[in-house]
């Protein structure tokens, strides 16, 4: 009888262990969907707060550069064509951003730029282009996971240096080149990521040489360094455009 009772207790113990293990498995299986839902929700919330700009904005900055190059040579026929490209790309970008803060101001600035170009007045057109790119820069600050707003800002300042150099106004060019150096020093860290560090270093070197050549009133050297800076900035912009589709910061 004692042996039978001992066997019964052993069997009961084994059953309890099995039930316990089964219960844990069932609990784990039920918890997984909840855990997954929570994880997905957190990821979506993170991506919503740390937004990326639609890729079309990277194309827009490239077209703005084409527009400036036409303006810098006072080729208004070419500038009008470039403006139409900017306008079409902006319409696509505007649809992507919807009612986001800064869209209205950028839209109005682009309209003013069109009016200045129609009047074929260089200084007024450059001033209107600056107003447009400033508004665009403010708009792009909404997108926290991209340095595109900094890239637009660097490009705007370097174009102002180039315009002043082209006009042989070295007093104004010096002020603008100092602004570029100061802005670059404070914000270049936003561009520094593996894969593009070499180009950031090249751009940094160009910024220093731009200031030096402007101070020396050496137009040819200044234009050469501005061109190199623009080439580096274009490569940096393209790098971040490709990176923009990634889900990783």
For residue range 101-140, list pLDDT tens digits in order: 999 999 999 999 999 999 999 999 999 999 999 999 999 9
Distance between CA atoms of residues 143 and 213, nearest Å: 35
Distance between CA atoms of residues 217 and 196, nearest Å: 31
Residue predicted with more confidence, 144 or 185: 185
Q: Supply the DSSP string of 5-44, one letter for each residue.
A: HHHHHHHHHHHHHHHHHHHHHHHHHHHHHHHHHHHHHHHH
In which residue are the tokens 């501005």 written? 226
Structural domains in the chain? 54-146 (1.20.120), 147-239 (1.20.120.290)
Q: What angle do CA 144, 148, 150 make, to 5 degrees?
A: 95
- Band of the pLDDT at 73, cuts 50, 70, 90? very high
- Band of the pLDDT at 51, cuts 50, 70, 90? confident
pLDDT at 239 over 90: yes
Q: Is 181 exposed, middle or buried (0-12, 13-18, 19+ CB in 10 A)?
A: middle
Q: Is 6 exposed, middle or buried (0-12, 13-18, 19+ CB in 10 A)?
A: exposed
Two tokens at 168? 């042989």
Kindly give, in sequence order, each residue whose CB lies less than 8 Å from that of residue 230, ignoring residues fewer than 6 positions away.
65, 155, 158
pLDDT at 49 over 70: no
Give percent of the chain with pLDDT exceeding 70: 78
- Band of the pLDDT at 70, cuts 50, 70, 90? very high
Smallest Cα–Cα separation from 161: which of 219, 83, 233?
219
Q: Supply the DSSP string of 57-125, one letter for each residue.
A: HHHHHHHHHHHHHHHHTT-HHHHHHHHHHHHHHHHHHHHHHTT-TTHHHHHHHHHHHHHHHHTT-HHHH
Mean pLDDT for all residues in the chain: 85
| Segment 151-199, tens digit of pLDDT | 999 999 999 999 999 999 999 999 999 999 999 999 999 999 999 999 9
């Amino acid at each position: 009888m004692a042996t039978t009772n001992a066997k019964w207790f052993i069997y009961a113990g084994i059953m309890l262990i099995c039930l316990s293990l089964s219960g844990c498995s069932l609990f784990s299986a039920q918890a997984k969907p909840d855990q997954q839902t929570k994880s997905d929700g957190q990821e979506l919330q993170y991506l919503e707060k740390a937004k990326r700009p639609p890729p079309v904005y990277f194309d827009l900055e490239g077209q703005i550069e084409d527009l400036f190059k036409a303006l810098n040579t006072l080729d208004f026929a070419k500038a009008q064509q470039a403006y139409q490209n900017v306008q079409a790309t902006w319409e696509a970008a505007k649809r992507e951003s919807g009612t986001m803060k800064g869209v209205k101001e950028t839209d109005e600035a682009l309209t003013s730029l069109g009016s200045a170009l129609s009047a074929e007045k260089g200084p007024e057109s450059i001033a209107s282009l600056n107003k447009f790119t400033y508004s665009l820069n403010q708009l792009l600050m909404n997108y926290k996971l991209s340095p595109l707003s900094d890239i637009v800002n660097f490009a705007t300042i370097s174009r102002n240096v180039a315009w002043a150099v082209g006009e042989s106004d070295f007093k104004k060019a010096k002020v603008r080149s100092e602004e570029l150096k100061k802005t670059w020093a404070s914000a270049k860290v936003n561009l520094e990521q593996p894969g593009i560090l070499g180009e950031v270093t090249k751009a940094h070197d160009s910024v220093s040489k731009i200031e030096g050549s402007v101070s020396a009133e050496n137009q040819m050297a200044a234009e050469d360094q501005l061109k190199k800076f623009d080439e580096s900035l274009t490569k940096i912009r393209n790098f971040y455009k490709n990176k923009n589709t990634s889900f990783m910061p």
